[in-house]
Amino acid sequence: MSGISGDHGRLRYQRGSLEEYAEVDRPLRLEFEFNPASMTRTRSVSLRTGNAPGTRGGYDFAGRSEVPRASQGISLEPESFTVTVLLDATDRMNAGEEPASRLGVQPELDTLRSMLEPKVQGADGQRTLAALGQGGARAFARHEFASVLLFRWGPHHLPVFMTQAQVEVSDWLPSLYPYRARATLTLQVIESRNEFYGEEIKRQFRTALRQEEGPQAT
């Protein structure tokens, strides 16, 4: 899954992004170089045959026309995937850019944390982070909501919830702001009738069906 392209003899990484999908003036956004050695995508189904006699792993069937019968009791679980992205301010620091020279990748790390925080919508339309109260695991209150994020990379444009962010910082500035970190993100696809997921499913089937067209397909 290469994201490298040529640029006057240099290697350039494909860029990906996570952007908050919200009616606000400045949605949270994180852009990153993304060329992982691997991406783990998980899709599973749950099988339930109840107390149907003589069945294990699916209902009885005697031919292709009875496939719908065989698949009774199956439910599809939402897809999730885990990606690791590198956050590195070295090039921007060498170019003398602010705030990279002063803050390193701290703004990117704070963006990730803010994407996980519950939000509230004020009367004037302003969205703010919700207070966490006593901390620890808790359900969102009725007036709080999680960020819906759009994950973009290559052909993929998926609506997701971020369910976990694990950050490993490897280098710090003298001010103790980090300038290089690796973030492992767990994302769950929002599989509903939203326009983004619908287009992803259409793209997926178009690509899958091209295999049937043979090597002459264009």
Closest CA to 110 of 29, 17, 184: 29
Residue 216 has what pLDDT?
52
189, burial (CB in 10 Å: exposed 0-12, middle 13-18, buried 19+): buried
In a domain, residue 58? The reply is no
Number of domains the chain is built from: 1
Q: Residue 169 and residue 45: Cα distance in Å, rounded?
A: 36
Q: Residue 216 and residue 218: Cα distance in Å, rounded?
A: 6
In a domain, residue 133? The reply is yes
What range does the domain containing 155 cover?
Answer: 4-51+71-213
Residue 78 DSSP one-character state: P
In a domain, residue 194? The reply is yes
Residues in the chain with pLDDT values less than 70: 1-14, 34-38, 49-58, 122-127, 130-138, 212-218
In a domain, residue 66? The reply is no
In a domain, residue 135? The reply is yes
Residue 149 has what pLDDT?
95
Q: Residue 33 and residue 84: Cα distance in Å, rounded?
A: 10
Residue 117 has what pLDDT?
87
Residue 217 has what pLDDT?
45
In a domain, residue 38? The reply is yes
In a domain, residue 183? The reply is yes
In a domain, residue 62? The reply is no
